[in-house]
Structure 1
Amino acid sequence: MVTTAYDGFPGAVAVSRLTVYDWPTVDGRPGGGTPHLHLTCSEGYVVTDGEGAVQTLTTSGFEETPLRAGTVAWFTPGTIHRLVNHGGLRITVVMQNSGLPEAGDAVLTLPPDRLTDPETYAAAVRLPTAGSEQELVVAARARRDLATRRFVELREAVAAGDPEPLAAFHRAAAELVRPRLAEWERRWREGAHAAATATRDQLAALGGGDPSHLAAARTRAGGPTATGRFGMCGRLDVYHDA
């Protein structure tokens, strides 16, 4: 008999709908998001509308992957990524380890003096919780532009054969999230680990001729719990129930 149950979204991933910012960028692009990396979560894009690209930076170098409707692209933790909007770019975003991205598993490519400690970093990335739409636009755009300038510097350093600025950013990012790791482990155990464990138990039960977990089947559905939120890369419709 199966003793482990999991009825969250398949694979314990998170899903959101993203409309990428169309504000012109400081490096001359017609629009785009804020460069950042994730420390423990892979991320996938399913492009639904428009055209653009995702720029990525790793220790292997810089790449730019074209995006258009129908493209599926993904990358692993540690990949600095930045979306570029050539026009009408909309994406369904799939995130590994639902709950961890929302708990801070992302660090923006801010200048080193903004990465010195969690409080300094939080103040640098925080958007106003009150105010007009225009005030939010100004704050989100300033945050994006600050991170973009540093992203360009890191890209140029890697291209010049100097790995230290990127390595220093990796070290700073890891130190920033260290106080959160116990909470992240709890979220992982209740999400991705629980989903994988349930599959293990179901396989074992079926191997033993026990299909009893099939009788507990159920269906769930829901809409976004937030719409139009100012995210790192654009306006987000968020599905927390995922």
Structure 2
Amino acid sequence: MRRLPHLMLAALLVFGVAACGDDDEPSGDATPSDTPTSEVTTSETPSETPSESTSETPSESPSQTSTPKPPPSQPPTTALPPEPTAPSQPPTSTAPTNPGPTTYAEALARFDARGTEPATMKRFRTPAGTYCLLQSDFAIGCELDSGKGVPAADYCGPDGPVDSVGRITYGEAGNPVAECNSDTIREPGAKLVGDGSAIAAPGGGGLLCLVEDIGVTCVDKSNQTGFYLGTGYSVF
């Protein structure tokens, strides 16, 4: 009978230990509750990854592709030097180009183009120094000023006094003849006439001359002959 209290005390202790074991069970269940917390933490990690990839990466790509590359610079062009041209051939004659008439028809056309009435004179001189005799027993024709002869070495020949034509006069046959003269037919008292003047011999016959800046053109309408004497010369 004395062991009964001891048995009851032992039973109470066992019950108390069991009760304490039951109280510790809920604290053991708290471990699963901590697991979701860690899961929330891992769920935050994906949220950071998209934010970095969507905000930073797209913003850098357009900035790189939107800047156009400068075109390659073209090398400077250099002008090619002009091709050398062949030197001009020297003239075959020393005589200047004849700017006056070379035919009787051309001479008359120049008179008609002026359309001026001729003045009547036996002789005259021009601003260029040409002297003309239209009526004289000595000679009829025109003469250039001294030193202004038209070069004509082929015409004058090696035996002539000079190698240039300085005078044209009417010969015995009634035709004009170019002369490589070294003398003169000038007489004092010739009147100076200006360019564009038309001069006729007295009496309504004989020579009719036209004064121009290129020289003097004269015609004889009685036999349709004439000449030009100035920077060049011609007889027709």
Does the pair score TM above 0.5?
Answer: no
Task: Name the TM-score class by shorter chain.
Answer: under 0.3
Higher-Rg structure is 2
TM-score, normalised with respect to structure 2: 0.22
Normalized per residue, the structure richer in strand is 1
TM-score, normalised with respect to structure 1: 0.21
Normalized per residue, the structure richer in helix is 1
